[in-house]
Chain A
Amino acid sequence: MKIVVCIKQVPDTKGGVQFNPDGTLNRAAMLTIMNPDDKAGLEAALRIKDATGAEVTALTMGLPKADDVLREAMAMGADKGILVTDRVLGGADTWATSTTIAGALRNIDYDMIITGRQAIDGDTAQVGPQIAEHLGIPVISYAEDIKVEGDSVIVKRQYEDRYHEVKAKMPVLVTALSELNEPRYMTPGGIFDAYDNGEVTVWGRADLKDVDDSDLGLKGSPTKIAKASDKVRKGAGEKVTLDPQESVEYIMSKLTEKHVI
């Protein structure tokens, strides 16, 4: 069984966020981490690998320095990495990104593709389902649990007030929630292996299959950013000291006031 996990190197919000003049993120200037939902997806794939011996490939699109996030994936246990990087792919929105990644995925065999639900930088949750659409395979989003059964996967899909259990034949794309699991740590030996012996294949525009230039990069992105901003800090809140009975009444009145109940 072959699993491809799409991962993204995202800004570590602890280190502050910086923007380019055009409103896109200045990725080169920021500390980075593996996107948390993607990391949970990778962990899910590695658990399937532990149980069944599946081959796990990590794939990312980004700047050349995104090589690091692939090494991190390999230090956790992924077998190999693919880095899709090219100047002409820069500034891509979700449409151009999913087109690019689908173009890369057409080169390789897979039974399951796992992506994170969404990245903490853009928060769109669009790329995973769009990739599935480009490739013409089913997608199950918001996975809380992934099980493999014969040639199918059974996914517990989070829904607002319940969950769905969805079964699909492979090949299939699943988008993972960070609640899916607690990702493992890298091992020190895994890090050494990833850098000393790890295999990262680098692909550019020319390696993408069945894609049109007009769908790539900033030019191929229908999204135009009007304004981008850092997280807005929440207010300090309100602190009250009341006895238990009064507290209940106070909370109920506030919840009613805010139309929560």
Chain B
Amino acid sequence: MDFTLDKKHEMARALFAEFAEKEVKPLAQEVDETEVFPRETVTKMQKNGFMGIPIPKEYGGQGCDVLTYVMCVEELAKVCGTTAVIVSAHTSLCADPILTYGTEEQKQKYLVPLAKGEKLGAFALTEPGAGTDAQGAQTKAVEVEDGWILNGSKCFITNGKEADIYIVIAVTDIVEDKRGRKQKKFSAFIVEKGTPGFSFGTKEKKMGIRGSSTYELIFEDCKIPKDALLGQRGKGFPIAMHTLDGGRIGIAAQALGLGEGALESAVNFTKERKQFGRSISAFQNTQFQLANMATRMEAAKLLVYQAAMAKQNKPRYSVEAAKAKLFAAEAAMDVTTKAVQLHGGYGYTREYDVERMMRDAKITEIYEGTSEVQRMVISGDLLK
């Protein structure tokens, strides 16, 4: 087995790294400090094709593979967790389900502008009472003569107020199983910003990824057309779960980048920082810490790239995605925390990037399925 990347992937990485260094890194601290969505960066990423990397060219994308997209998220996350999740949520959670489940008309109408980056995407499943227990969702869509009426609210939605196109999961039917128990049936819908009855609630004030626009979505008698239904009626839950499998690979890549970015900062800092008359990198504790951090990130990288290849080549990749996200998120949390420790007092100040990276890393253990959910997916497969 050969783990070296071919030339085109190497060149793509060089492109993402150069872009991240020149266009994203200089703004990262300000984006965090001001909690302002980096719209200019998104416009630049649109111009350079970063918003539709794995989408086929016939739908306005770049026609690259999942691995290239993953490397893009990784390189962005090395310098800015916020920018990385904007690309990840847009690509994995909105463009990807339309590519997978959309009709040709839906692809032309929604996927093409998403893949070109002219429009930004979001995905809405979570509700105040339905996080890990996604089946607890209450938002309803009632079929009427010429469409659907949506009522309910969604929370913690990434790209919330900034997106143009939303995938919304809502209850459409209640059926009874064999034992007479009532079961909700969900469906997925494509909802456009500006639809009457669709508004935004609270903006979340977060610990990390503070420039990411995280909002509550409110639907009050929001009427959407018949053709807003994505995939089959009643299949919304499997669509959401399959979409999250892909999304987890994106978040795993974000975690990978955050950990790698923090490691790089720690290497540079410990070489420069002098205590007791020598660089702190000369102390064996520092050396062993760095060795552990590097090894952990390398293992995370292999799992993340393996999950990307699984998504590229296999119809199901839930377990690979869960393992990659579980490991990469925990590695990122560990490595960013250790990087802060190696920076000492400086690492605790907002002057140094590792402070932000540690706060950003925490969310990777929570969103798009907590680490506990990933363990449920992995063990569920082992014990089936």
A187 to B6, CA, bound (A): 17
B62 contacts A by Cβ under 8 Å? yes
Which A165-193 residues have C-beta < 8 A from chain B?
184-193
- Please determine whether B49 and A195 come into contact, CB atoms closer than 8 angstroms: no
Find B11's partner among A184, A189, A191, A196 (CB 8 Å cutoff).
Answer: A191
Q: Which residues of A contact B63 (CB under 8 A)?
A: 189, 192-193
User: Which listed segment binds A: B12-20, B136-144, B211-219?
Assistant: B12-20
- Please determine whether B15 and A186 come into contact, CB atoms closer than 8 angstroms: yes
- Please determine whether A188 and B50 come into contact, CB atoms closer than 8 angstroms: yes
B61 contacts A by Cβ under 8 Å? yes
B103 contacts A by Cβ under 8 Å? no
B interface, CB within 8 angstroms of A: 6-8, 11-12, 15, 18-19, 48-50, 53, 57, 61-64, 68, 72
A188 to B18, CA, bound (A): 13
A7 to B325, CA, bound (A): 43
- Please determine whether A72 and B11 come into contact, CB atoms closer than 8 angstroms: yes
A4 to B61, CA, bound (A): 29
Chain A, residues 53-79, CB within 8 Å of chain B (1/0): the string is 000000000000000100110010000
- Please determine whether B11 and A75 come into contact, CB atoms closer than 8 angstroms: yes
Known: A192-B62, A192-B63, A192-B64. A187 touches B48 (CB 8 A): yes
Question: What would be 13 A-B contacts, judged by CB atoms less than 8 Å apart?
Answer: A71-B8, A71-B11, A185-B15, A185-B19, A189-B57, A189-B61, A189-B63, A191-B8, A192-B64, A193-B63, A195-B6, A195-B7, A195-B11
- Please determine whether B64 and A189 come into contact, CB atoms closer than 8 angstroms: yes
- Please determine whether A68 and B49 come into contact, CB atoms closer than 8 angstroms: no
A-B pairs with lowest CB-CB distance, top 5: A189-B62, A187-B49, A195-B8, A188-B62, A188-B64
A196's nearest neighbour on chain B, judged by CB, is B8
Q: Which residues of A contact B48 (CB under 8 A)?
A: 184-185, 187
B8's nearest neighbour on chain A, judged by CB, is A195
A188 to B11, CA, bound (A): 9
Find B7's partner among A68, A184, A185, A189 (CB 8 Å cutoff).
Answer: A68
B18's nearest neighbour on chain A, judged by CB, is A185
For the complex with contacts A187-B48, A188-B62, A189-B49, 16 further pairs of A-B residues with Cβ separation under 8 Å are A68-B7, A71-B7, A75-B15, A185-B15, A186-B11, A186-B15, A187-B49, A188-B53, A189-B62, A189-B64, A190-B49, A192-B8, A192-B12, A192-B64, A194-B8, A195-B6
Q: Which residues of A contact B62 (CB under 8 A)?
A: 187-189, 192
A25 to B19, CA, bound (A): 29
A71 to B14, CA, bound (A): 13
A193 to B57, CA, bound (A): 11
A194 to B7, CA, bound (A): 11
Q: Which residues of B contact A68 (CB under 8 A)?
A: 7, 11
Least Cβ distance of B353 to chain A in Å? 20
Least Cβ distance of A100 to chain B in Å? 25
A113 to B72, CA, bound (A): 35
A196 to B6, CA, bound (A): 12
Chain A, residues 69-95, CB within 8 Å of chain B (1/0): the string is 001100100000000000000000000
Least Cβ distance of B15 to chain A in Å? 5
Least Cβ distance of B204 to chain A in Å? 31
A189's nearest neighbour on chain B, judged by CB, is B62
B54's nearest neighbour on chain A, judged by CB, is A188
Least Cβ distance of B23 to chain A in Å? 9
A184 to B8, CA, bound (A): 18
B71's nearest neighbour on chain A, judged by CB, is A188
B62's nearest neighbour on chain A, judged by CB, is A189
Least Cβ distance of A214 to chain B in Å? 37
- Please determine whether B72 and A188 come into contact, CB atoms closer than 8 angstroms: yes
- Please determine whether A188 and B49 come into contact, CB atoms closer than 8 angstroms: yes
A176 to B7, CA, bound (A): 29
A72 to B11, CA, bound (A): 8
B68's nearest neighbour on chain A, judged by CB, is A188
Least Cβ distance of B57 to chain A in Å? 7
A188 to B15, CA, bound (A): 8
Least Cβ distance of B312 to chain A in Å? 13
